Amino acid sequence: MESVILIADDDPRILNVVKLYLEAEDYQVIDVESGENALEIIDNRDVDLVLLDLMLPGIDGWTICKHIRKNSKLPVIMLTAKGEENDRILGLELGADDYIVKPFSPRELVARVKAVLRRTEDLGGKKNVYSFPGITLDALTRQVKINHHDIKLTMKEFELLYLFIKSPDKVYTREHLLEQVWGFDYCGDSRTVDTHINRLRSKIEEYGFDGNIIKTVRGVGYKFSKDGL
């Protein structure tokens, strides 16, 4: 079944070009020009991915992204004329899966859409449940249990833990984590990885579990360690 993609942008030219390229790849496209219409579609239709302009009239893209992350794991690619590093970091902190700056190549945008959808689908692969003493992760339902308690993780926190837990003791550099979880060539520093790792550790520790199962490998990056489980 074809994927349904919502494009929210107040520039009709961008809507028309992006819709043309996506439909050529057999995606079903819904296009809207306001934040209110975008929210109505998101809350009432089955959508597989959102291309979201930040500077929408009415309800802006930041607010819509926050709304999506409070209610679902729906993939979001932010589409905006703002290219400053702080805007990229904020977009990712809000839970965006990717970030593309205008003007952009429609072909590159289509490639990023495919990459994000592929990563989302990969979470439902052949092996769904990963269990270790005291911790269980279900990739299909996106549920994590610590000492039999459900813990609430953001999309990025979940994807980081999923990446770690399916390859115990494999060391990931910050650059590799950015590429695998955020899915694009990050132009700034790696602060966002460290921030997400610290938040993930804190949430794990809230349920009486050792957050240092995600170990820092000095000078390299991070790994999920089975030692002490």
Residues 31, 79, single domain; the answer is: yes
Asked if the structure places residue 229 within a domain, the reply is: no
Residues 57, 98, single domain; the answer is: yes
Measured between alpha carbons, how far is 123 from 159 in angstroms, rounded to an integer?
Answer: 9
Q: Residue 101 has what pLDDT?
A: 85
Asked if the structure places residue 107 within a domain, the reply is: yes
Residues 147, 210, single domain; the answer is: yes
Asked if the structure places residue 184 within a domain, the reply is: yes
Residues 107, 180, single domain; the answer is: no
Residues 46, 137, single domain; the answer is: no
Residues 214, 154, single domain; the answer is: yes
Residues 46, 93, single domain; the answer is: yes
Lowest mean pLDDT among 35-49, 68-82, 182-196: 182-196
Q: Residue 103 has what pLDDT?
A: 87
Asked if the structure places residue 148 within a domain, the reply is: yes
Residue 18 has pLDDT above 90, yes or no: yes
Helix (H, G, I), strand (E, B) or coil at 156: helix
Q: Looking at this protein, which amino acid is placed at residue 38?
A: A
Q: Residue 96 has what pLDDT?
A: 83
Residues 104, 72, single domain; the answer is: yes
* pLDDT, tens only, 181-200: 876 554 556 778 899 999 99
Quote the Cα angle for 169-94-30, to 5°.
Answer: 110
Residue 11 has pLDDT above 50, yes or no: yes
The CATH number of the domain holding residue 31 is 3.40.50.2300
The CATH number of the domain holding residue 185 is 1.10.10.10
Quote the Cα angle for 102-68-88, to 5°.
Answer: 35
Question: Could you tell me the pLDDT band of residue 64, with boundaries at 50, 70 and 90?
Answer: very high
The residues pairing with 146 across neighbouring beta strands, listed in sequence order, are 135, 149
Lowest mean pLDDT among 14-23, 84-93, 219-228: 84-93
Residues 79, 166, single domain; the answer is: no
Residues 154, 96, single domain; the answer is: no
Question: Could you tell me the pLDDT band of residue 73, with boundaries at 50, 70 and 90?
Answer: confident
Phi, psi of 8 (to 5 degrees): -120, 105
Residue numbers of the domain that contains 191: 129-224
Mean pLDDT of the chain: 84
Q: Looking at this protein, which amino acid is placed at residue 188?
A: G
Asked if the structure places residue 200 within a domain, the reply is: yes
Residues 101, 146, single domain; the answer is: no
Buried b (16+ CB within 10 A) or exposed e, 183-196: bbebeeeeebbeeb
Measured between alpha carbons, how far is 135 from 146 in angstroms, rounded to an integer?
Answer: 5
Helix (H, G, I), strand (E, B) or coil at 225: coil
> What would the mean pLDDT of 116-135 be, rounded to a whole number?
73
Q: Are 203 and 153 in contact (CB under 8 A)?
A: yes
Whose tokens are 């609430």? That residue is 152
> What would the mean pLDDT of 3-19 be, rounded to a whole number?
94
Residues 83, 170, single domain; the answer is: no
Question: Could you tell me the pLDDT band of residue 126, with boundaries at 50, 70 and 90?
Answer: very low
> What would the mean pLDDT of 160-184 be, rounded to a whole number?
84
Question: Count of alpha carbons within 13 Å of 100, Cβ hemisphere only?
Answer: 20
Measured between alpha carbons, how far is 100 from 77 in angstroms, rounded to an integer?
Answer: 7
Q: Which of 122, 146, 171 is the last residue of a domain?
A: 122
Q: Which of 122, 149, 168 is the last residue of a domain?
A: 122
Measured between alpha carbons, how far is 143 from 4 in angstroms, rounded to an integer?
Answer: 24
The pair of three-digit structure tokens given for residue 56, joined into one six-digit string: 């929408």
- Split into its structural domains, the chain has a count of 2
Residue 177 has pLDDT above 60, yes or no: yes
Q: Residue 37 has what pLDDT?
A: 94
Q: Which of 122, 146, 179 is the last residue of a domain?
A: 122
Higher pLDDT, 45 or 11: 11
